[in-house]
Structure 1
Amino acid sequence: MTTSILDIAVDVDFPPACYLSLRGELDLSGTAELAAAIDEALTAGAEHVLIDLYQLTFIDMTGGGTLVRCRAASTAAGSGFLVTGARGFVRRVLDISGIWPLISRPNLPAPAAVAARTPVLPVPVPASTWSRTPAPVFPRPGQPAPAFPRPGQPAPVLPRPGQPAAASSRP
């Protein structure tokens, strides 16, 4: 049996939130401990789970996968989830693996009043109201930024890359 070199400090002093600070190394030996701490927080009714990685010195893909699974468990429980403080080697591993953008974006739960209502389905927009104007292309470096139209004015049409600029934006 391997020994974990991961220390998890759990702070529940702010009732709807659970704050976990990880110190040490998050690898195969510490993933079960982290998953258990998250599960315990969710079972206790935490509305938000915040994980701080500032003091974490090492993470491998097993640890990164555990963070993704913890986010999924938090979402399934209707709780918010956010990971912060990754730096150095830990941040680099999470960036390269593509995990950081997923876990560092706040996953906020819907307020209880909104969650209790029946979900609102999107209303289809009639085709006659669709804009025939192509989506604007953002200017490349060195090109001036387009002026945003005022209400009631048509959006400016920017030239596509490789095409000459038109004399006016619309006829």
Structure 2
Amino acid sequence: MNPSDKLRLRTETKEGRCTVYISGELDLEVASQMRAAMEPLVELCDRILTLNLKELRYIDSTGIGILISVLKARHARSGAFTVEAVPSHIRKLFDMTGITPFLNETGPSAAQAH
């Protein structure tokens, strides 16, 4: 499978808020694609950078590492970073790895959104 077919990203910017809609799989194979997409957004989003995970089917430790990198980079710039619509199976991984307390979740969870 072509890496660009595994991961799809769509960005929406409105009133200083950047929302990245992530669908597919976020793993080692697509890590460079995700990093390349996130790097400019980390610096350019004025107010809030939000990742919408509603359509994220799978994430591995590399993908979680990318989320942590984005979180740290936004924190270093005093920029807000949130996640929204986290599917229950992804939330379980976040809980198991201990990153849930560091992710500011906004809006309904993906389970509630269906």
Q: TM-score w.r.t. structure 2 length?
A: 0.80
Equivalent pairs: percent with the same residue?
26
CA root-mean-square deviation = 1.8
Q: Choose between structure 1 and 2: higher helix proportion.
A: 2
What residue in structure 2 maps to residue 155 of structure 1? none
Deviation at 1:89?
Answer: 2.1
What residue in structure 2 maps to residue 64 of structure 1? 64
Conservation of the 8 A alpha-carbon contact between 1:18 and 1:50: yes
Which whole-Å CA distance do the structure 1 matches of 2:51 and 2:81 have between them? 8
Q: Render the CA deviation track for 1:99-155: whole Å, top value 9, x for unaligned.
A: 22212357xxxxxxxxxxxxxxxxxxxxxxxxxxxxxxxxxxxxxxxxxxxxxxxxx
Deviation at 1:80?
Answer: 0.5
Which whole-Å CA distance do the structure 1 matches of 2:71 and 2:8 have between them? 20
Counterparts of 1:102-117 in structure 2, within 5 Å, are 102-104=102-104
Q: Which has the larger radius of gyration?
A: 1
Conservation of the 8 A alpha-carbon contact between 2:84 and 2:105: no
Counterparts of 1:21-170 in structure 2, within 5 Å, are 21-104=21-104
User: Which has the bigger relative contact order, CA under 8 A and spacing at least 6?
Assistant: 2
Which whole-Å CA distance do the structure 2 matches of 1:45 and 1:3 have between them? 26
Name stretches of at least 5 consecutive residues in structure 2 with no aligned partner: 107-114
Conservation of the 8 A alpha-carbon contact between 2:18 and 2:45: no
Name stretches of at least 5 consecutive residues in structure 1 with no aligned partner: 107-171
Task: Give 3-state SS (helix, strand or coil) of 2:3's partner.
Answer: coil
Q: Which amino acid aligns with 2:40?
A: E
Residues 86 and 105 (structure 1), Cα distance of their counterparts in 2 relative to 1, 3 Å cut: closer
Q: Choose between structure 1 and 2: higher strand proportion.
A: 2
